[in-house]
Structure formats: C-alpha cells, structure tokens
Amino acid sequence: MKRLIALLCLLPLLLSGCTFVGRVPDEEELSKEILFSMDYNGAGYGTQAMCASAEVYVHTDGRISVMMPDLTMENIIEIASFQMSPEDYEELAAFASPRKIARLLAWDTEGCDGTTEWITLYTDGEDGTPRVLLRKGGYMPDGIGFQEMRSGIFQRLEKYGVGKTVSDWRQKLIDAEE
C-alpha cells in the first residue's frame, strides 16, 4: 500500500518531468555564433550604476564578449572581448554544453535583496540574428545543478579576467555618475 501511495504521489512529477526540465534543443536549433550567455549581476541598494549588470557571451569561436551599459547608462555596449584558448573553450563547452544547460532545474527562491541569475541558450533567427531559445534561472534561483553550473562557468571565465573587467567598468559607471 505504501508503494502505491508513493507511486501515486510521484506519478505527476514523472509525467511532467520533460516539461519541468525543459526540452533539450536539437543541434540544428542552436545558434552557430553563441554557445551561451550568462549574467554578472550587480545587486543591492544604491544607484543605477552600482547595480549595473553585465551579460557575458561565450561565442562558438571561443571569443568571450562582455556587454554592459555605456557611461551614459543609455546603451548597451561591448566593454571587453577575450579569446579563449582552444583547450579552454573545449573544456567549457563540454562542462556547460547546451544539453546540460537545457536539463538544469532552477526555480525562484523566496527572499528579498537578491538578484536574478540566468544562463541563456540562443538560436539563429531568420535574419541570422541570434535570438533567445531558452533561459534557465530566475530570482535567487535554486535547483538541481544550477548554482554548480554557474560557479563552474565563473571559474573557467575568471582565467580571462571577466569578473575584474565587470567590476572595473562598474566603478567607471559609478565615477561617471558623480
């Protein structure tokens, strides 16, 4: 009887598992230009500049591009670009493959004074422009493997000084406000 009750409790989760986890995109659906992007959020109290976020793109050619607001806080610009070694790119692409990203479970956490965190996969639009295919994350997200994935990506990008670049640019934005 206990097995039957346990099965009945788990049945909805098992039947909806594919939807909950998310559909794994086919190889031909994925962008030919962008492997994925991830945000480096600024959060907390303060001015717009203090809370400015960055979007970091990992391109399929191994290039990392860092996008943030310009000094007027009106436009998003590329503030830096780095070229990964082929070995580093292959390691990152294996660690954070689109298949693994699509299978991440992530949900919002109750709380305040947090930030949103996203890992995004892209497809190529009809005009060739990359478009969002799926996003994993949310407000202070928790989930199976999500934070481990973000942490592993951060660690691999830090070899190229991405976090310092974001912090330095954020300081320039703060200085420009004064």
**Ramachandran angles phi, psi of 44, nearest 5°:** 120, -165
Parallel, antiparallel, or unpaired: how do β-strands 54-59 and 34-40 relate? antiparallel
Q: How far is CA 134 from the centre of its chain?
A: 10
- Weakest-pLDDT range from 53-62, 91-100, 102-111, 117-126: 102-111
The CA-atom distances, in angstroms, between 148 and each of 2, 63, 135, 156 are: 34, 23, 16, 12
Residue 75 has pLDDT above 70, yes or no: yes
Q: What is the pLDDT of residue 92?
A: 97
For residues 113 and 143, the model is more confident at 143
Domain limits, the chain: 30-177
Burial class (CB in 10 A: 0-12, 13-18, 19+), 55: middle
Alpha-carbon distance of 123 to 146, in angstroms, equals 21
Using pLDDT thresholds of 50, 70 and 90, give the confidence band for residue 110: low
**Mean pLDDT of the region 67-78:** 94
Q: What is the pLDDT of residue 19?
A: 31
Token readout for 83 is 């070229």
